[in-house]
Structures are given as C-alpha cells and as structure tokens.
Amino acid sequence: MTNEDLLFKTLTLGNMKLDNRVGVAPMTRTSATSEGLATDQMVSYYTSFANGGFGLIITEGIYPDDKYSQGYLNQPGIVYKEQIQAWRKVVDSVHQAGSKIFAQLMHAGALSQGNRFVNEAIAPSAVPPKGEQMEIYGGKGLFRLPKKRLKMKSQRSLMVLRMRPKMPNLLVSME
Ligand SMILES: Cc1cc2nc3c(=O)[nH]c(=O)nc-3n(C[C@H](O)[C@H](O)[C@H](O)COP(=O)(O)O)c2cc1C
C-alpha cells in the first residue's frame, strides 16, 4: 500500500468513521458576529472544505467562557445557547456534505488581544508575550501585561461541559 492509498483509507476515530485521513487544521478567521455567533459566511467556509472531500475539519479556536478565554474580537464563542445554535448551522451543513467537524476550544491567555467581556488578560505568569498583536485579527502594538492567575477562573469552561447535558457531543465531535 502506498502512502497515498493510506491517506485515502477510512479511519475510525472513537465512535466516528472518517472517510479519509485528510483534515483541515484549525484556522482563526474572526468572521463571527461581535456577539460570537457563527455566520453564514462561516457556514459557507466550512462547507467548502467538506465539499472538497476533507474527512475531518477542526474549527478555528472557539472561546468557551464569558471571562478571559476570548482572544480576538469577532471570534466565535460556544458559551450561550444562541452561540451553540449558530454553530448548529455550520455543523449540519458540514455533515450534509459528508464530513465530520470537531470544535477547537481555545483559551487565549496572555495572547488575548480582543475580549468583549473583560479588559485585561490573565496567564500563569505576569509576563507580556513577545512580539506584537496580530493586525489581521484587529490588534495593534505590544501585548498587555497579563495578570498572574495560577488557578484560572476559566476552568469554569470545563464545568460548562458537565453542566450542560446537550453540550458534550457538540463540543467533542460537533455531532
Ligand atoms: C490563518 C491561520 C489561522 C490559524 N488559527 C489557528 C487556531 O485558531 N488554532 C490553532 O490551534 N492553530 C491555528 N493556526 C495554526 C494552524 O492550525 C497550523 O498548525 C499551522 O498553520 C501549521 O500547519 P502547517 O505545518 O500544515 O502549515 C492558524 C494558522 C493560520 C495560517
């Protein structure tokens, strides 16, 4: 069997069968609404990969709490019912096109450069990140000095998984 044969062989991942082993890596696009709702543009973006035959799509980093996890303005979230419903449009469309989709849950930490909930960043150490904020994602200049938080409050995002019975499937496999 050649490498190419292997690439296009099905793969069982947990309880899921992927059509092939070609996946889309997570790519932040900042094309959600300012309230973090997935848009029609995102439906079309993710569906285009599914139509192109990718067996698996991993979403852009999604913020899982309404505190410090958001990294960019117009980043999609998965905190509120409305945000979950908005993702449903993406998920259904990708499934209809025959692919699978996984959510990437992301905490931006010190690299947060746009957050609609709080006006500060937290990190394990009060050390500003090297380099400058990414202008393509709406940032400008140096990163802020994050507040040191050893026990992050955003561990709450893990609790969200346990507290909302309908969410685990959506978060883990978006099914
Ligand atoms: C525009 C863009 C956005 C990205 N956003 C994310 C992201 O949200 N989460 C993440 O883990 N990686 C992100 N990455 C990193 C990619 O998933 C990938 O790891 C990186 O491009 C290296 O892959 P390669 O070696 O195939 O080029 C992003 C990359 C690009 C180019």
Q: What is the pLDDT of residues 1-57, one digit of tens each?
A: 898 899 999 999 999 999 999 999 999 999 999 999 999 999 999 999 999 999 999
Four-point Cα dihedral 25, 46, 118, 127, nearest 10: 10
What is the Å distance from ligand 1's center to 163 Cα? 30
Beta strands 11-13 and 16-18: pairing type?
antiparallel
User: Which of 22, 28, 136 most suits a substitution to test ligand 1, by most atoms within 8 Å of the C-beta?
Assistant: 28
pLDDT tens-digit series, residues 14-30 = 999 999 999 999 999 99
Listed residue (101, 92, 80, 94) closest to 37, CA to CA = 80
The pTM for the full model equals 0.87
How many helices and strands (H and E) does the chain possess? 5, 7
CB atoms within 10 A of CB 69: 28
Instruction: Find out whether 43 and 57 touch, Cβ atoms under 8 Å.
Output: no
Q: For each of the domains in the chain, give its residue range(s) and CATH number, in order of start.
A: 3-164 (3.20.20.70)
User: What residue owns the CA closest to ligand 1's atom 12?
Assistant: 26
Beta strands 100-105 and 56-62: pairing type?
parallel
